[in-house]
Amino acid sequence: MGYDYLKLCNDIKDLTNKYKSLDVFHIGKSVMGRSIYCIRVGMGKRKIFIGGAYHGLEYLTSLFLIRFIDEYMFRIINKWWFAGFNTEDIFKDVTMFIVPMVNPDGVDIATNGLDLLNIHHRNLIDTVGIHDFRHVWQANARGVDLNHNYDANWKMTVPSPSPTKYGGENPESECETQAIVNFIRKTDFDMLLAFHSQGKEIYYSFDGTNEKKAFLAAQKLADISGYTLIRPTGSDSYGGCKDWFIKEFGKLGFTIEIGKGKNPLPISMIDDVFLDNARIILCASEIIS
Ligand SMILES: [Zn+2]
């Protein structure tokens, strides 16, 4: 069992019932018309963008972000610290904009498989040429890998729609990518965290931009989590959300690869990944505050 869009929608509803100060809105729609939700947490002038499930098989990142919001808000209300961090100060200084599922259609394919009555799914079978997508699907409902679709040294890694690594006809060709970049362009973010799985790694640079500052901040995130720092190379080094954010704004952007194992990581791994990654978000928030 995975963590699909329906579960996400139910959990967001529960969160907003529980914590009345949370603001939930959508920043755009997926190819299949699903809302891409954003949850605003905090009251500070500093702003951090946090995204999860850019890739279909990586829905553990969505569950992590939802649970993070729940546990963070619980501590705010009770005026408790969280994993060694002063939550009251962070809440006052930093506003988090959390998009827990950037790619709802891809997650749906990876968790629930194909629906032969669905025109998008039938098109995928024709273009990609395979019939069982559940254990391989990373892309959106048009077979575009959303973390290769950003305008940052964009290039064709794979020539046509595929479960993974096809960057689209051109940068920002996909509505999910457009939703993210349009939202980020109109909000003055200080930092971006893009959550993926797996590897227990932190990717920290793009094209040498502000390399020293990025390395120092990434080192703090690595120290607090025990994750390994990686300077991206090969197909990991362009076309991604954090690459575009660094290129466009010259600010700090990191890709966090949660957990270790074979994707999809099991939902039961949430306890194993939770604290390390909660610390990463809290530490990142302190860095910009
Ligand atoms: Zn990924």
The verdict on residue 32 lying in a domain is yes
The verdict on residue 30 lying in a domain is yes
Q: Is the pTM of this model over 0.95?
A: yes
Exposure b/e, 108-122, CB count within 10 A at least 16 = b:
bbbbeebeeeeebbe
The verdict on residue 249 lying in a domain is no
Ligand 1 center from residue 235 Cα (angstroms): 12
Res. 236: pLDDT tops 70: no
The contacts of residue 192 (CB under 8 Å, 6+ apart) are: 48, 49, 50, 51, 184, 241, 242, 245, 251, 252, 253, 254
pLDDT tens profile 169-203: 999 999 999 999 999 999 999 999 999 999 999 99
Ligand 1 center from residue 264 Cα (angstroms): 11
The verdict on residue 78 lying in a domain is yes
Q: In which band, very low, low, confident or very high, does the pLDDT at 224 lie, cut at 50, 70 and 90?
A: very high
The verdict on residue 122 lying in a domain is no
Percent of the chain at pLDDT > 70 equals 99
Res. 71: pLDDT tops 90: yes
Q: Could you tell me the two tokens for 159? A: 């020539």
Ligand 1 center from residue 21 Cα (angstroms): 31
Ligand 1 center from residue 137 Cα (angstroms): 11
The verdict on residue 29 lying in a domain is yes
Ligand 1 center from residue 29 Cα (angstroms): 20
pLDDT tens profile 125-136: 988 887 778 889
Q: In which band, very low, low, confident or very high, does the pLDDT at 92 lie, cut at 50, 70 and 90?
A: very high
Q: Give residue 105's pLDDT.
A: 97
Dist CA 124 CA 260 (whole Å): 29
Dist CA 144 CA 168 (whole Å): 5
The verdict on residue 58 lying in a domain is yes
Q: Give residue 50's pLDDT.
A: 98
Res. 235: pLDDT tops 70: no
Mapped onto helix, strand or coil, the DSSP state of residue 98 is: strand
Residues in the chain: 289
Ligand 1 center from residue 165 Cα (angstroms): 10
pLDDT tens profile 254-275: 999 999 999 999 999 999 999 9
Instruction: Give mean pLDDT, residues 50-69.
Output: 98
Number of domains present in the structure of the chain = 1
- Residue 281: give its domain's CATH number: 3.40.630.10
Q: Give residue 133's pLDDT.
A: 82
Ligand 1 center from residue 54 Cα (angstroms): 6
pLDDT tens profile 96-154: 999 999 999 999 999 999 888 999 999 999 888 877 788 899 999 999 999 999 999 99
Dist CA 219 CA 228 (whole Å): 9
Mapped onto helix, strand or coil, the DSSP state of residue 26 is: strand
* Type of residue numbered 128: V
* Long-range contacts formed by 110-114: CB under 8 A, 24+ apart: 110/2, 110/56, 110/57, 110/59, 110/134, 110/135, 110/137, 110/138, 110/264, 111/1, 111/2, 111/3, 111/4, 111/59, 112/2, 112/4
Give the domain range for residue 266. Answer: 5-106+173-180+260-288
Ligand 1 center from residue 53 Cα (angstroms): 7
Dist CA 284 CA 274 (whole Å): 15
The verdict on residue 53 lying in a domain is yes
Ligand 1 center from residue 198 Cα (angstroms): 8
Q: Parallel, antiparallel, or unpaired: how do β-strands 94-99 and 35-41 relate?
A: antiparallel
